[in-house]
């Protein structure tokens, strides 16, 4: 007796890249975190860049406009909190969401905090709040 199994794809294809899409820079020394963030943010329509350390993050910022930075507090040998202050000084219009495994992050001048481990919905909702959909789709 043969059984027929029906499989339905539930994955969404990423939308076509909009040349006016807002850009998110994900700064984390863990490649799996960067990949997870990139894939899920791209599914939501953002243009995403990655940096595995602070020198790479500075290069990415120099190469073009970035609207939101998702920044790990501890980036390899770098200090994400010091980099946050650098962003506030040099790029005051950029929104910053800090990723942290710590249960406390007080007195930090970030626009949002995403605790690790996080759910994908936390990431996408936070970035959407910092870079509203209307602004991302404006052309």
Q: How far apart are CA 84 and CA 44, in angstroms?
A: 25
pLDDT by residue (tens digit) across 14-25? Answer: 444 444 579 999
Q: Which domain holds residue 78?
A: 23-137
How far lies 17's CA from each of 14, 22, 46, 114, 138, in Å?
8, 10, 8, 26, 13
Q: Look at the pTM and tell me if it is higher than 0.85.
A: no
CA distance 44 to 21: 11
Of 105 and 114, the one with more pLDDT: 114
Q: Is 7 a member of any domain?
A: no
12 domain residue, yes or no: no
Q: Quick check: is 78 in a domain?
A: yes
pLDDT score, position 34:
98
- On whether residue 17 sits in a domain, the answer given is no
Report angle CA 122, 52, 24 to the nearest 5 degrees: 45
How many domains are contained in the chain?
1
What does the pLDDT look like over 65-110, one tens digit per residue?
A: 999 999 999 998 899 999 999 999 999 999 999 999 876 667 788 9
Residue 5 within a domain = no
**36: in domain:** yes
């Amino acid at each position: 007796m043969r059984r027929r199994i029906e499989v339905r794809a539930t994955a969404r294809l990423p939308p076509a890249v909009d040349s006016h899409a807002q850009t998110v820079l994900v700064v984390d020394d863990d490649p799996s975190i960067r990949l997870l963030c990139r894939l899920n943010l791209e599914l939501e329509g953002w243009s995403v860049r990655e940096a595995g350390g602070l020198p790479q993050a500075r290069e990415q910022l120099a190469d073009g406009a970035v609207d939101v930075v998702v920044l790990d507090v501890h980036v390899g040998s770098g200090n994400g909190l010091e980099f946050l202050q650098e962003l506030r000084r040099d790029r005051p219009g950029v929104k910053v969401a800090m990723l942290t495994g710590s249960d406390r992050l007080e007195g930090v001048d970030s626009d949002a905090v995403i605790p690790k481990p996080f759910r994908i919905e936390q990431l996408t909702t936070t970035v959407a709040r910092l870079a509203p959909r209307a602004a991302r789709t404006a052309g």
